[in-house]
Amino acid sequence: MKIALVTDSTSVLTKKEAEDNNVIVTPIPIIVGNKEYLDGVDITASQLFEMQREGADFPKTSQPAIGEMLTLFDKLHDEGYDAIITITLSSGISGFYETLKNIAHNNPKYGLYTYDSKMTVRLQGYLVLAAAKMIKAGYEPNEIFEHLDKIRDTIDEIFVVDDLKNLSRGGRLSNASAFIGTMLHIKPLLTFQDGKIIAFDKIRSLKRAVAKVENLALERTNELPYRDKLRLFVFHSNDAKQAESIKAFVNDNFAGMPVDVAEFSPVIATHLGEKSIALAWMIDVNQLDFNKNN
């Protein structure tokens, strides 16, 4: 079976990763005022925050145009692909997954299989890379999804946001009413729960919040049966200094384990706001054997 693989730009795959693994990356639009930008193409998170400091309108995110997706799927179908797998950012923060499900339902000729990562950024990106490995190994789409479910179950992530303004204004926080209007200097801790962003604690001061995140990471990973195969991640919104500090913590407490440090994609930075930080982990897909003969 000839299978195409499509994802969106919030997966933050590098150009080389996409090319080496035959992944088609569809950029997510960001609208500031009357102008549209494309995530990862003509705007960065830092530029986005600078525009806001200069008085630009609050940024909004959209979905890739349905017409553009249909054109892409027509092209892949005409090129002889028997199936198209799409892996999207979480349906809890975007309607893109549901849009693709509708396209699949209305256009069975594409053989379109839609997968909800229930996540975003590099965590989503590694699900995409795992799918690419399985396509090369000869897996069928349903087999790929079964394995992706198991990998996705190993993902955990804790955020600290400087304030909830962006998340609440963008409607991306499912329990916003319980946390909005808290005292000055209170830093909410957030995580993904079934694909939705929820706040689960609030800490006074960023320093204490980061310390709580680090302690929670140790607690949650301590008894994992695959702890020695973890890959860790530090994400930030224009706060490289804080990210490097957390990376040092990871290196000290997860010796020898790979750690990725990266900025949130502009789309995710739009929702989280500046000075947001996250510590995350999942099983390292580079250590998994996808050979079907084993």
pLDDT value, residue 181: 47
State in Å, rounded, how far the first CA of the chain is from the last one: 20
Residue 52 lies in a domain: no
Give CA separation, 140 vs 4, 226, 249, 289, in Å: 12, 26, 40, 16
Mean pLDDT for the chain?
Answer: 90
Question: What is the domain extent for residue 203?
Answer: 156-287
| 114 and 233 part of one domain | no
Q: At what angle do helices 240-253 and 206-221 cross, to 10 degrees?
A: 30
Instruction: Band the pLDDT of 163: cuts 50, 70, 90.
Output: low
User: What is the rounded average pLDDT of the residues 85-98?
Assistant: 95
Q: Is the pLDDT of residue 183 over 60?
A: no
pLDDT value, residue 41: 86
Q: Is the pLDDT of residue 77 over 80?
A: yes
CATH assignment of the domain containing 193: 3.30.1180.10
Sign of the dihedral through C-alpha 173, 59, 181, 213: positive
pLDDT value, residue 91: 94
pLDDT value, residue 124: 97
User: What is the rounded average pLDDT of the residues 250-278?
Assistant: 90
pLDDT in tens, 2-24: 999 999 999 999 999 999 999 99
Q: Is the pLDDT of residue 169 over 80?
A: no
Residue 220 lies in a domain: yes
| 172 and 231 part of one domain | yes
| 239 and 209 part of one domain | yes
User: What is the rounded average pLDDT of the residues 265-278?
Assistant: 85
Q: At what angle do helices 66-78 and 96-106 cross, to 10 degrees?
A: 50
| 117 and 168 part of one domain | no
pLDDT value, residue 172: 53
pTM over cut 0.95: no
| 137 and 215 part of one domain | no
Q: Is the pLDDT of residue 52 over 70?
A: yes
Q: Is the pLDDT of residue 177 over 70?
A: no
pLDDT value, residue 209: 92
Over its C-alpha atoms, the chain yields an Rg (Å, rounded) of 19
38-47, 99-108, 217-226: which has the minimum mean pLDDT?
Answer: 38-47
| 77 and 212 part of one domain | no
20-24, 46-50, 108-112, 118-122: which has the minimum mean pLDDT?
Answer: 46-50
5-19, 41-55, 57-71: which has the minimum mean pLDDT?
Answer: 41-55
